[in-house]
Amino acid sequence: MGDMLKRVPVREQDAKERATNFEEVCYGYNLEEATEEAARCLDCKNARCIQGCPVSINIPGFITKVKEGDIEGAYEVIGQSSALPAICGRVCPQESQCECRCIRGIKGEPVSIGKLERFVADYALEHDIKPKKAEASNGHKVAVIGSGPAGLTCAGDLAKLGYEVTVFEALHELGGVLVYGIPEFRLPKEKVVKKEIEKVKELGVKFETNVVIGKSTTIDQLMEEEDFEAVFIGSGAGLPVFMGIPGETANGVFSANEYLTRSNLMKAFDPEYDTPIAAGKKVAVIGGGNVAMDAARTALRLGAEVHIVYRRSEAELPARVEEVHHAKEEGIIFDLLTNPKEILVDDNGWVKGMRVIRMELGEPDASGRRRPVEIEGSEFDMELDTVIMSLGTSPNPLIAATTKGLETNRRKCIVADEETGETSKAAVYAGGDAVTGAATVILAMGAGKAGAKGIHEYLSGEREEA
């Protein structure tokens, strides 16, 4: 038995090697390592870790099962709260949720909850352990828009309660950002995402791809002409934000979403596909969030020298600590306290560089973070051939514009109740990035759960009145 103050280290692919391939970076625990790490859990009576989890997984409950060697039992405990544990175990910001509340963290390192969740979920995928299905249909039809974590969770929860659920997805692949945004080296698609979606299918959920709600059909039509009694909108926030600086429409400027979609979904990295992606010998990614790290690490694997250009300092980087650490290890260059002023364009309309200015941190702004201020006269030019903008996204206004009586706020987000997902329109519920703006997988899942609960209360209440 190792030092109880320290976590069992997790095996990872060597940094130099992985900078040239798209294989998964982290290998996860094996049974022996997971059992050793699980033994560090103190099984607290008042488990603060559960309070830190947006879907309230019974964390000490599943870890106790791991300690006992009952991995199937551990999966059952997690399955009561989460339909996508192999995904969450890989991409949740555990360090600011469950793990930062772990008592073990006071004197030593917190229990590696995320890696244990991943171990249990991967075991269930490998051993094809089935989720529990509803005994019979209750005859109610519900439509879910979008197959990201919010839509998948809402659909799965409703199916378990016996609803007939159809998910409508605009793209040809299911999974939302899990497939088109987060890269393969962090979240394997065939091995993890597709298999976890299969489990939602096994609950009886139907999926229709290539259906853009607002174009192919509308929410009003689904309810009036196709007898859907309730709708959950989980359409995400896929519309990129740009800076509005000169040169931004040049060839060689991408939004991070487009760049990642070309690579992840349209396999631009694979010579067998003819999807074009930037020439990318010298790439700058503007922004400091998870999306920026993913775009930068993708460009690196495509053979480029990559700079992250971020206007604040390292302490304010919004990306997960683990992502920044991995990006640095792989050789990404961080140009911090630096902000773009103009993209420099050659005579043929292609990016040739970027004028930037140095920044310093001033007084705290409304967000509580110190405001970056330009240092006069500190401009300089970077030589580049690709610029990737990763400044955030907002919800696409299509659904709101085509649905009568659906209220949105000034950020174009759908207005919905946090507890129930209820919107301004009767029988229409919403959650995830479409409501909050770009957030996290687990928050979207929490919102999907809340929406399922809200719809169930609404439809079962209706049944009582009938």
Ligand X SMILES: Cc1cc2nc3c(=O)[nH]c(=O)nc-3n(C[C@H](O)[C@H](O)[C@H](O)COP(=O)(O)OP(=O)(O)OC[C@H]3O[C@@H](n4cnc5c(N)ncnc54)[C@H](O)[C@@H]3O)c2cc1C
Binding-site ranges for ligand X (CB under 6 A): 91-93, 145-151, 168-171, 176-177, 181-182, 211-214, 234-236, 238, 260, 290-291, 294, 396, 398-399, 432-434, 438-442, 444
CB of 154 to ligand X, least distance (A): 9
Residue 61 or 93: the one with the smaller Cβ distance to ligand X is 93
Task: Return d(Cα 353, Cα 459) in angstroms, integer.
Answer: 57
CB of 60 to ligand X, least distance (A): 22
Residue 47 or 213: the one with the smaller Cβ distance to ligand X is 213
Residue 13 or 138: the one with the smaller Cβ distance to ligand X is 13
Residue 33 or 169: the one with the smaller Cβ distance to ligand X is 169
CB of 209 to ligand X, least distance (A): 9
List of residues 6+ apart from 17 with CB closer than 8 A: none
CB of 9 to ligand X, least distance (A): 21
List of residues 6+ apart from 340 with CB closer than 8 A: 243, 245, 284, 286, 309, 354, 355, 356, 387
Task: Return d(Cα 360, Cα 340) in angstroms, integer.
Answer: 14
- Cβ neighbourhood burial of 443 (10 Å; 0-12, 13-18, 19+): buried
Residue 38 or 300: the one with the smaller Cβ distance to ligand X is 300
Count CB atoms within 10 A of the CB of residue 6: 11
List of residues 6+ apart from 211 with CB closer than 8 A: 168, 169, 170, 217
What are 381's strand-pairing partners? 355
CB of 312 to ligand X, least distance (A): 19
Instruction: Judge contact between 23 and 13, C-beta under 8 A.
Output: yes
CB of 394 to ligand X, least distance (A): 12
Residue 110 or 148: the one with the smaller Cβ distance to ligand X is 148
CB of 328 to ligand X, least distance (A): 17
Residue 218 or 339: the one with the smaller Cβ distance to ligand X is 218
CB of 349 to ligand X, least distance (A): 27
Residue 85 or 238: the one with the smaller Cβ distance to ligand X is 238
- Cβ neighbourhood burial of 88 (10 Å; 0-12, 13-18, 19+): buried
